[in-house]
Amino acid sequence: MIGPFEANGSAHTTKKVSVVFVLGGPGSGKGTQCANIVEHFGYTHLSAGDLLRAEIKSGSENGTMIQNMIKEGKIVPSEVTIKLLQRAIEENGNDKFLIDGFPRNEENRAAFEAVTGIEPEFVLFFDCSEEEMERRLLCRNQGREDDNIETIRKRFKVYMESSLPVIEYYNAKGKVKKIDAARPVGEVFEAVKAVFTPPSDKVKAASWSFKWND
Protein backbone atom coordinates (compact mmCIF):
# COMPACT_ATOMS: atom_id res chain seq x y z
CA MET A 1 0.00 0.00 0.00
CA ILE A 2 1.39 3.39 -0.97
CA GLY A 3 -0.13 6.43 0.60
CA PRO A 4 0.35 10.18 0.59
CA PHE A 5 2.71 11.70 3.10
CA GLU A 6 2.74 14.98 4.89
CA ALA A 7 4.88 17.84 3.72
CA ASN A 8 6.57 19.64 6.59
CA GLY A 9 4.34 17.78 9.02
CA SER A 10 1.07 19.34 7.87
CA ALA A 11 0.01 19.73 4.21
CA HIS A 12 -0.58 16.46 2.37
CA THR A 13 0.89 15.73 -1.01
CA THR A 14 -0.63 13.31 -3.50
CA LYS A 15 2.74 12.21 -4.88
CA LYS A 16 2.67 8.43 -5.29
CA VAL A 17 5.97 6.72 -4.68
CA SER A 18 7.35 3.21 -4.65
CA VAL A 19 9.79 2.57 -1.79
CA VAL A 20 12.08 -0.42 -1.26
CA PHE A 21 13.92 -0.76 2.05
CA VAL A 22 17.42 -2.23 1.65
CA LEU A 23 18.70 -4.03 4.74
CA GLY A 24 21.75 -6.13 5.53
CA GLY A 25 24.62 -6.22 7.99
CA PRO A 26 27.83 -4.20 7.72
CA GLY A 27 29.83 -5.69 4.85
CA SER A 28 26.87 -7.42 3.20
CA GLY A 29 27.42 -5.47 -0.04
CA LYS A 30 24.31 -3.24 0.11
CA GLY A 31 26.08 -0.18 -1.32
CA THR A 32 27.47 -1.99 -4.37
CA GLN A 33 24.12 -3.57 -5.19
CA CYS A 34 22.20 -0.30 -4.66
CA ALA A 35 24.48 1.33 -7.27
CA ASN A 36 23.67 -1.52 -9.70
CA ILE A 37 19.91 -1.19 -9.07
CA VAL A 38 20.05 2.58 -9.66
CA GLU A 39 21.91 2.05 -12.96
CA HIS A 40 19.74 -0.78 -14.28
CA PHE A 41 16.28 -0.03 -12.89
CA GLY A 42 16.18 3.76 -12.52
CA TYR A 43 15.66 4.00 -8.76
CA THR A 44 16.94 6.92 -6.65
CA HIS A 45 19.19 5.73 -3.82
CA LEU A 46 18.63 7.39 -0.44
CA SER A 47 20.98 6.60 2.43
CA ALA A 48 19.78 7.76 5.86
CA GLY A 49 23.40 8.13 6.99
CA ASP A 50 24.36 10.20 3.95
CA LEU A 51 21.36 12.50 4.45
CA LEU A 52 22.29 13.07 8.10
CA ARG A 53 25.92 13.81 7.14
CA ALA A 54 24.81 16.21 4.39
CA GLU A 55 22.51 18.03 6.81
CA ILE A 56 25.40 18.44 9.29
CA LYS A 57 27.68 19.71 6.50
CA SER A 58 25.04 22.26 5.41
CA GLY A 59 25.52 24.12 8.69
CA SER A 60 21.76 24.46 9.18
CA GLU A 61 20.23 24.71 12.64
CA ASN A 62 18.93 21.18 12.20
CA GLY A 63 22.41 19.99 11.15
CA THR A 64 24.02 21.54 14.24
CA MET A 65 21.45 19.81 16.45
CA ILE A 66 22.18 16.46 14.77
CA GLN A 67 25.93 16.97 15.13
CA ASN A 68 25.62 17.80 18.83
CA MET A 69 23.50 14.71 19.47
CA ILE A 70 26.02 12.47 17.74
CA LYS A 71 28.90 14.09 19.66
CA GLU A 72 27.09 13.43 22.93
CA GLY A 73 26.54 9.79 21.95
CA LYS A 74 22.78 10.25 21.70
CA ILE A 75 20.64 8.53 19.10
CA VAL A 76 19.19 10.91 16.51
CA PRO A 77 15.37 10.74 16.90
CA SER A 78 13.51 8.78 14.20
CA GLU A 79 11.46 11.84 13.29
CA VAL A 80 14.60 13.80 12.34
CA THR A 81 15.85 11.09 9.97
CA ILE A 82 12.35 10.52 8.57
CA LYS A 83 11.87 14.23 7.83
CA LEU A 84 15.16 14.22 5.88
CA LEU A 85 14.05 11.16 3.92
CA GLN A 86 10.63 12.71 3.36
CA ARG A 87 12.14 15.94 2.06
CA ALA A 88 14.50 14.04 -0.25
CA ILE A 89 11.56 12.06 -1.69
CA GLU A 90 9.44 15.19 -2.17
CA GLU A 91 12.19 17.23 -3.82
CA ASN A 92 13.25 14.46 -6.21
CA GLY A 93 11.53 14.12 -9.58
CA ASN A 94 11.67 10.32 -9.42
CA ASP A 95 8.88 8.15 -7.99
CA LYS A 96 10.91 5.04 -7.06
CA PHE A 97 13.34 5.01 -4.16
CA LEU A 98 15.76 2.64 -2.48
CA ILE A 99 16.08 3.53 1.20
CA ASP A 100 19.35 2.06 2.38
CA GLY A 101 20.13 1.18 6.01
CA PHE A 102 16.74 2.32 7.32
CA PRO A 103 14.67 1.47 9.29
CA ARG A 104 17.34 0.43 11.77
CA ASN A 105 14.85 -0.81 14.34
CA GLU A 106 11.16 -1.36 15.01
CA GLU A 107 10.68 2.17 16.36
CA ASN A 108 12.14 3.59 13.09
CA ARG A 109 9.81 1.38 11.07
CA ALA A 110 6.64 2.32 12.93
CA ALA A 111 7.52 6.03 12.91
CA PHE A 112 8.29 6.02 9.17
CA GLU A 113 4.93 4.49 8.28
CA ALA A 114 3.06 6.75 10.73
CA VAL A 115 4.71 9.98 9.57
CA THR A 116 4.83 9.34 5.81
CA GLY A 117 1.88 7.02 5.30
CA ILE A 118 4.16 4.90 3.10
CA GLU A 119 4.62 1.17 3.37
CA PRO A 120 7.51 -0.32 1.36
CA GLU A 121 6.72 -2.35 -1.74
CA PHE A 122 9.13 -4.89 -0.28
CA VAL A 123 12.32 -5.24 1.77
CA LEU A 124 15.48 -6.32 -0.04
CA PHE A 125 17.44 -8.25 2.59
CA PHE A 126 21.09 -9.09 1.92
CA ASP A 127 21.65 -12.19 4.00
CA CYS A 128 25.30 -12.85 4.80
CA SER A 129 27.07 -14.77 7.57
CA GLU A 130 28.90 -12.88 10.29
CA GLU A 131 32.15 -14.63 9.28
CA GLU A 132 31.89 -13.47 5.66
CA MET A 133 30.97 -9.87 6.60
CA GLU A 134 33.85 -9.81 9.08
CA ARG A 135 36.29 -11.02 6.41
CA ARG A 136 35.10 -8.38 3.91
CA LEU A 137 35.28 -5.50 6.39
CA LEU A 138 38.80 -6.47 7.48
CA CYS A 139 39.95 -6.83 3.85
CA ARG A 140 38.57 -3.60 2.47
CA ASN A 141 40.84 -0.60 2.63
CA GLN A 142 38.66 2.45 3.12
CA GLY A 143 40.66 3.99 5.92
CA ARG A 144 37.79 3.50 8.34
CA GLU A 145 38.89 3.52 11.94
CA ASP A 146 35.94 1.34 12.90
CA ASP A 147 37.05 -1.58 10.72
CA ASN A 148 38.80 -3.49 13.48
CA ILE A 149 37.66 -6.87 14.75
CA GLU A 150 36.24 -5.70 18.08
CA THR A 151 34.24 -2.83 16.61
CA ILE A 152 33.03 -4.96 13.69
CA ARG A 153 31.63 -7.54 16.11
CA LYS A 154 29.88 -4.83 18.14
CA ARG A 155 28.34 -3.38 14.98
CA PHE A 156 27.16 -6.83 13.94
CA LYS A 157 25.60 -7.45 17.36
CA VAL A 158 23.72 -4.11 17.23
CA TYR A 159 22.53 -4.90 13.70
CA MET A 160 21.28 -8.35 14.72
CA GLU A 161 19.43 -7.08 17.79
CA SER A 162 17.81 -4.06 16.15
CA SER A 163 17.28 -4.87 12.46
CA LEU A 164 16.14 -8.48 12.63
CA PRO A 165 12.78 -7.60 14.27
CA VAL A 166 12.11 -5.28 11.29
CA ILE A 167 12.91 -8.08 8.85
CA GLU A 168 10.69 -10.48 10.81
CA TYR A 169 7.82 -7.94 10.81
CA TYR A 170 7.87 -7.55 7.03
CA ASN A 171 8.53 -11.25 6.47
CA ALA A 172 5.24 -11.99 8.26
CA LYS A 173 3.57 -9.74 5.65
CA GLY A 174 5.29 -11.61 2.80
CA LYS A 175 7.32 -8.53 1.89
CA VAL A 176 10.91 -9.75 2.37
CA LYS A 177 13.01 -10.68 -0.68
CA LYS A 178 16.04 -12.47 0.73
CA ILE A 179 19.26 -12.48 -1.30
CA ASP A 180 22.21 -14.76 -0.56
CA ALA A 181 24.84 -12.02 -0.29
CA ALA A 182 27.78 -14.35 0.41
CA ARG A 183 28.17 -15.12 -3.30
CA PRO A 184 30.35 -13.15 -5.77
CA VAL A 185 29.06 -9.67 -6.66
CA GLY A 186 27.92 -10.63 -10.18
CA GLU A 187 25.94 -13.62 -8.95
CA VAL A 188 24.31 -11.53 -6.23
CA PHE A 189 23.20 -8.97 -8.80
CA GLU A 190 21.67 -11.70 -10.99
CA ALA A 191 19.49 -12.63 -7.99
CA VAL A 192 18.69 -8.93 -7.41
CA LYS A 193 17.70 -8.49 -11.07
CA ALA A 194 15.24 -11.37 -10.77
CA VAL A 195 13.54 -9.52 -7.88
CA PHE A 196 13.23 -6.22 -9.78
CA THR A 197 12.24 -7.60 -13.20
CA PRO A 198 8.46 -7.35 -13.69
CA PRO A 199 6.75 -10.75 -14.18
CA SER A 200 5.57 -9.70 -17.67
CA ASP A 201 9.20 -9.13 -18.75
CA LYS A 202 10.19 -12.54 -17.38
CA VAL A 203 7.40 -14.15 -19.42
CA LYS A 204 8.57 -12.27 -22.54
CA ALA A 205 12.15 -13.43 -21.98
CA ALA A 206 10.99 -17.04 -21.58
CA SER A 207 8.84 -16.74 -24.72
CA TRP A 208 11.75 -15.45 -26.78
CA SER A 209 13.95 -18.21 -25.44
CA PHE A 210 11.31 -20.78 -26.47
CA LYS A 211 11.06 -19.35 -30.01
CA TRP A 212 14.84 -19.28 -30.36
CA ASN A 213 15.10 -22.92 -29.29
CA ASP A 214 12.26 -23.80 -31.62
Annotation-wise, does 140 bind a ligand? yes
Q: Is 144 annotated as a binding residue?
A: yes
DSSP state of 112: H
What is the DSSP pairing of strand 96-100 with strand 6-7? unpaired
Q: How confident is the model at residue 144 (pLDDT cuts 50, 70, 90)?
A: low
182 closest CA partner among 128, 107, 111: 128
Cβ-contact 191, 136 below 8 angstroms:
no
Q: Which CATH class is domain 16-200?
A: alpha beta
First to last CA, the chain: 41
Tell me the pLDDT band of 207, cut-offs 50, 70 and 90: very low
Burial of 183 (0-12, 13-18, 19+ CB in 10 A): middle
Rounded to the nearest integer, the mean pLDDT of the chain is 83
Instruction: Say if residue 8's pLDDT is above 70.
Output: no
Residue in 150, 144, 152, 189 with CA at minimum distance from that of residue 37:
189
Least confident of 24-28, 105-109, 121-125, 176-180: 24-28
CA distance 214 to 57: 60
Residue 5 assigned ligand-binding role: no
pLDDT recorded at residue 25 = 84
Annotated binding-site residue? 104: yes
CB 3 within 8 A of CB 112: no
- HSE-up of 56 (CA within 13 Å, CB side)? 14
Any binding-site annotation on 108? yes
Domain boundaries defined on the chain: 16-200
Of 127 and 150, which is predicted with more confidence?
127
* 28 in a labelled binding site: yes
Q: What angle do CA 85, 120, 102 make, to 5 degrees?
A: 45
Is 29 a known ligand-binding residue?
Answer: yes
pLDDT score at 110: 94
Largest Cα span, the chain: 68
Q: Is position 153 annotated in a ligand binding site?
A: no
